[in-house]
Structure 1
């Protein structure tokens, strides 16, 4: 119960800050979002381009964890996964608040879960994340980014959302360890608490998810 209350308070606090206390919205925000969505990135700070794209990669990393966790939950995980591509942690925090611990995966994996749960997917998503992250760091203009972070609600909240998503992984990975029968491994226990690099490594080296023979829908 304490954990549920904590996630609810964190969600409400994040909402309040994002819509009330964050810097005012830049009038050019809508035009910027249009250009970023259409990959028209000429003249846009590479740090902003990288951050925007990473906000699409992080929900992809959460997708296999949440869709697997959602098996047997009263709370359907699929809508939260879809919404997270648009609003990030704003969509995931309510799921974390109201989900129940799910320590066993029941049923066969659908084709979608087989793809998302595969080591190949883990390596792919790790490579994609590192490519975007490193390219932004190497070619981005930090002075311009800090200025925009201080004066644009979109950039400001997106940056905080990125940090929130990175730090929230252990909240769902702890149960994932138990489902994979590796909760006693000190290596994996340590790995899931290392921000982002530990999570990416976990996706590449974790063992396959054991499943029973009962077939369930991948979106249940």
Structure 2
């Protein structure tokens, strides 16, 4: 409940702040956006280009979680994904407000979920982010970017938007890591993810042991046969929880 209250307050505040600054009404804003979309980057600070590009990377990072998460919800993540590409957190937060916590995943993975769950997808996003940050650091003018952030509404808002996309990422990460059976590492990665997009990509490029799994499955007890023909010793029960197995005697 506290998380949703925070998200709702953040959403309303950022909408009001955007309307107040009205960046698209400022002269030259649409021209700069058009140039960056067309890769006509001459005269544009690489730090601004990187932040603008990361606002395209972030929706892809979220998509890796959203399209898996929507299988456990009564709402579609498609509109939120599309809206987040143009409106950032303003388009994304409504889905986070309407969804319900669900740490379990059931059913088959279709092609979209297989791509979202692939470590190669996370690896591509991670390398893209590292390249963008390195390019900005080597070629950009940080002092000039700070001045633009202080004086140009578009730069000010897109920077905040990029940072806030990282701040709200843990609202999805907890359930996703529970589905992957990596809850033990959730505190570390959750804290890390709130500081940089590369950490979110790192969590998506986890090794195969962290793939999606169905939790709380119970296998046959006593002398019933398992799928691969193995027989459980009499009186023992095998339980799979979070993709880890344990054998315990009967109560």
Q: TM-score, normalised by structure 1?
A: 0.88
Residue among 208, 213, 218 paired with 1:210: 213
Using CA pairs below 8 Å that are at least 6 residues apart, which structure has the higher relative contact order? 1
Equivalent position of 1:154 in the other structure: 154
SS at match of 2:205: helix
Residue among 187, 190, 200 paired with 2:188: 190
Q: In 1, Cα distance between the equivalents of 2:128 and 2:26?
A: 29
Q: Conserved in 2, the CA contact under 8 Å of 1:25 and 1:154?
A: no
Provide runs of 4+ in structure 1 moved above 4 Å: 21-25
Q: Conserved in 1, the CA contact under 8 Å of 2:67 and 2:116?
A: no
| Per-residue deviation, 1:21 | 5.1
| Per-residue deviation, 1:204 | 1.8
Q: Which runs of 5+ in 1 are unaligned?
A: 213-220
| Per-residue deviation, 1:211 | 5.3
Would you say 1:12 and 2:15 are equivalent positions? Answer: no
Q: TM-score, normalised by structure 2?
A: 0.78
SS at match of 1:42: coil
Alignment: residue pair count: 210
Q: In 1, Cα distance between the equivalents of 2:24 and 2:143?
A: 19
| Per-residue deviation, 1:97 | 1.4
| Per-residue deviation, 1:199 | 2.2
Equivalent position of 1:130 in the other structure: 130
Q: In 1, Cα distance between the equivalents of 2:41 and 2:24?
A: 23
CA deviation map 1:45-88 (0-9, x unaligned): 11111111111011100001011111131221111011111111
SS at match of 1:106: coil
Larger radius of gyration: 2
Q: In 2, Cα distance between the equivalents of 1:120 and 1:29?
A: 35
Equivalent position of 1:109 in the other structure: 109
The 1:24/1:117 distance shift into structure 2, 3 A limit, reads closer
Q: Conserved in 2, the CA contact under 8 Å of 1:23 and 1:150?
A: no
Equivalent position of 2:237 in the other structure: none
SS at match of 1:70: helix
Would you say 1:53 and 2:53 are equivalent positions? Answer: yes
Q: Per residue, is there more strand in 1 or in 2?
A: 2
Q: In 1, Cα distance between the equivalents of 2:114 and 2:150?
A: 42
Q: Per residue, is there more helix in 1 or in 2?
A: 1
Q: Conserved in 2, the CA contact under 8 Å of 1:25 and 1:153?
A: no
CA deviation map 1:128-182 (0-9, x unaligned): 0110112112211122212221222111100000000111111110011111122
